[in-house]
Structure 1
Amino acid sequence: MSGGVVDQVRSGLATRLQALREHEGGTRDGSDPEELHQMRVSVRRMREMLRSARSFLDREHSEPLRNELGWLGRALGPVRDLDVLLEHLREQTAEMPEQDAAERLLAGLDAEHERARADLLAALDSDRYRALLDWVEEASRELPARESDAGDDGGSELRDLVLRQFGKLRKDVGKLPDDPPDDRLHALRIRGKKVRYTAELAEPALGKPIKRLIKATKKFQDVLGEHQDACVAEQRLRDLAAEADAGAAFVAGRLVEREQLRKADRRARWPGAWDQLVEAEKGVRRGPR
């Protein structure tokens, strides 16, 4: 009954639950943003395992768990997004002579970050969070499979999952206009992330071709992720400038120009990353060599 796929999901949940617990202390402490990043990644990967393999799972059990993991992801997200934004903007302003103006510009984001941190800690201190951890631990041992007559070791089924997810990405790329709007490129990044996480689920069964696909997908994600980061930064800077004094608004204007250059650069680079990803997918389709 599709045991190979379901066993991979159970194993993946156990691995990601361990990683989540390992990074919880650092997330609570808040001194190293990478701790929160890794905790959030663990949640996302668990959700994607359950989504990718849902045709093999008893959805009455798997979908409520996936939804509850979504709650945790939403609790972690605002702080992580602000970590990324503030780190980038502080790097950009580090050598500017207008340091006081830059700090005034970013003060609102710092305050927003503190509020988001308080909400995050409240979520981690909740009974709901502790119950979720117990739920994932139970699922890592006993997550039920959907009744099926399939009986192979799961390798071909896992390959099919990856290729099906890639097919959705290819379809989305094919529908793009010559100069895609920002939100369409962001949607591609999200779709690419689903390909990567599905491939990671399949990696133990499929080996080197999948590893090459994961590497190429990460590069594709990174280019489009930096494009999206620039889009977000530009808009946030415009919002901050609208309420800032003249000096802080001047700094915001300079930063907006830099974000526009970053966007243009990533727009020029993403098609090349896509071509490399297409080549990697061909290797998965051919199978091990």
Structure 2
Amino acid sequence: MTGSRKSRLDGSRFKQRRGSYRRYKLPRLTATMTCKEAFRTIARGCLDDLAANQQATYEGDREALHQMRIALTRLRAARSFFSSFIPSSEWSPLKGELKWLNKHLSRTRDLDVALKRLPSAHDTSPRQTLGRAWRKTWSASHRDLRRALHSRRYRILLRDMSIWIDGSRSSGKVKPSTSLTTYSGRRLDRWYQKLVKKSRAIEDMSASQRHRLRIKSKRFRYVLEVLEQLLPGKSRAGVRECLKSLRKIQKYLGQLNDAEQGRLIATALAKSAQEDGARWNSPLPTGRKARKRMIRAAALAFQQMAELKPFQLS
């Protein structure tokens, strides 16, 4: 094993300054890249961001935790987008391990978001008592996350992901000669059409269905942000407007999801304390009118996006 290869596997290349976090930066792609090269460039950046934010997340930096979750989502989005070039047999074992890591990150992040809506430390009302209970729950969740980030399982995951990104074979579902620009344009249009179609029923969806729609919207946005640089100049204006709509959608559906996750955590805490769930939900107001307003706003953003047709250039 060469020295450079060894350093890549032992994790030293992932070290980050103590207490700092790294924000995501768009990778540079070129039209001369193959689809496999583009995927490797995107995935490598995501893996580097994931590992670079590990120490700050371990120390309790909430922005670093957020960046780790973003890196995971972008990595999954890239894999899904370029799935035609990646055998599913190579992805399946890693998929389960990423799900394990995301579960730890998501639990703590959901508590982070909920805590922002709780009473201040100077509040002496009964609501503040609830706040202390929520913070105690966050501390327990963060301890679990700390253990996960310093576990052998996490180190092996980074190592295996690195090997997979650099050495995965082509699945053969798409001709190797297919250019990155051609593939990206066709694939983006397919994702766009599917997303627009699914969004038409948003006002009748359950919370779980809206959550799945939110994930699809977020992944489409992340992929589009990366590949925008490769698209023809005449489509750029439409793509920029599409991204504006996607950011609005992520904002509104994200607020709905935050409220729903807060409700689920509050329900679990109430059950553990053998108390009425309404008291635990009280710091997290999620009125019916507010929910309807956010759903309508998301529906409008989807409608605006549907009118753009940014990938139909004929």
Which band: TM-score by shorter chain?
Answer: 0.7 to 0.9
Does the alignment pair 1:10 with 2:46? no
Amino acid across the alignment from 1:81: D
List runs of 5+ in structure 2 lacking aligned partners: 1-31
Cα gap change, 1:115/1:185 in structure 2, threshold over 3 Å: closer, same or farther?
same
Return the alpha-carbon distance in structure 2 between the equivalents of residues 119 and 203 of structure 1.
38
Query: Retained in 2: the 8 A contact 1:220–1:274?
Result: yes
Q: In the TM superposition, what is the alpha-carbon distance from 1:70 to its structure 2 partner?
A: 2.2
For 1:178-231, what per-residue CA distance to the aligned partner results, in whole angstroms no more than 9, with x for missing partners? 544333322321221232233245334227354443332122111111122223
What is residue 245 of structure 2 aligned with on the other side? 216
For 1:126-148, what per-residue CA distance to the aligned partner results, in whole angstroms no more than 9, with x for missing partners? 12211221222233433322234
Amino acid across the alignment from 1:47: R
Return the alpha-carbon distance in structure 1 between the equivalents of residues 204 and 73 of structure 2.
30
Does the alignment pair 1:161 with 2:151? no
What is residue 276 of structure 1 aligned with on the other side? 304
Query: Retained in 1: the 8 A contact 2:77–2:223?
Result: yes
Does the alignment pair 1:20 with 2:50? yes
Mean Cα deviation higher: 110-119 or 179-188: 179-188
Return the alpha-carbon distance in structure 2 between the equivalents of residues 185 and 283 of structure 1.
24
Amino acid across the alignment from 1:138: I
| Correspondence 1:123-202 to 2 at 5 A | 123-147=148-172, 148-176=174-202, 179-202=204-227
TM-score (ref. length: structure 2):
0.76
Query: Retained in 2: the 8 A contact 1:68–1:132?
Result: yes
Residue 191 of structure 2 aligns to a residue whose secondary structure is helix
Query: Retained in 2: the 8 A contact 1:20–1:38?
Result: yes
Amino acid across the alignment from 1:10: R
Does the alignment pair 1:286 with 2:313? yes
TM-score (ref. length: structure 1):
0.82
What's the C-alpha RMSD, in Å, of the aligned pairs?
Answer: 3.1
Does the alignment pair 1:85 with 2:114? yes
Residue 152 of structure 1 aligns to a residue whose secondary structure is coil
Query: Retained in 2: the 8 A contact 1:213–1:277?
Result: yes
Residue 183 of structure 1 aligns to a residue whose secondary structure is helix
Return the alpha-carbon distance in structure 2 between the equivalents of residues 167 and 119 of structure 1.
40
Query: Retained in 1: the 8 A contact 2:65–2:109?
Result: yes
Return the alpha-carbon distance in structure 2 between the equivalents of residues 12 and 166 of structure 1.
20
Residue 155 of structure 1 aligns to a residue whose secondary structure is helix
Return the alpha-carbon distance in structure 1 between the equivalents of residues 281 and 100 of structure 2.
34
Query: Retained in 2: the 8 A contact 1:189–1:221?
Result: yes
**Number of positions where the alignment pairs a residue of Structure 1 with one of Structure 2:** 277
For 1:18-70, what per-residue CA distance to the aligned partner results, in whole angstroms no more than 9, with x for missing partners? 2122211210110x311100011101211221122112223322333333222
Return the alpha-carbon distance in structure 1 between the equivalents of residues 129 and 311 of structure 2.
51
Cα gap change, 1:232/1:133 in structure 2, threshold over 3 Å: closer, same or farther?
closer
Residue 151 of structure 1 aligns to a residue whose secondary structure is coil
Cα gap change, 1:249/1:215 in structure 2, threshold over 3 Å: closer, same or farther?
closer
1:110 to 119, 135, 138: 135
Larger proportion of helix:
1
What is residue 57 of structure 1 aligned with on the other side? 86
List runs of 5+ in structure 1 lacking aligned partners: none
Return the alpha-carbon distance in structure 1 between the equivalents of residues 285 and 55 of structure 2.
38
Amino acid across the alignment from 2:312: R
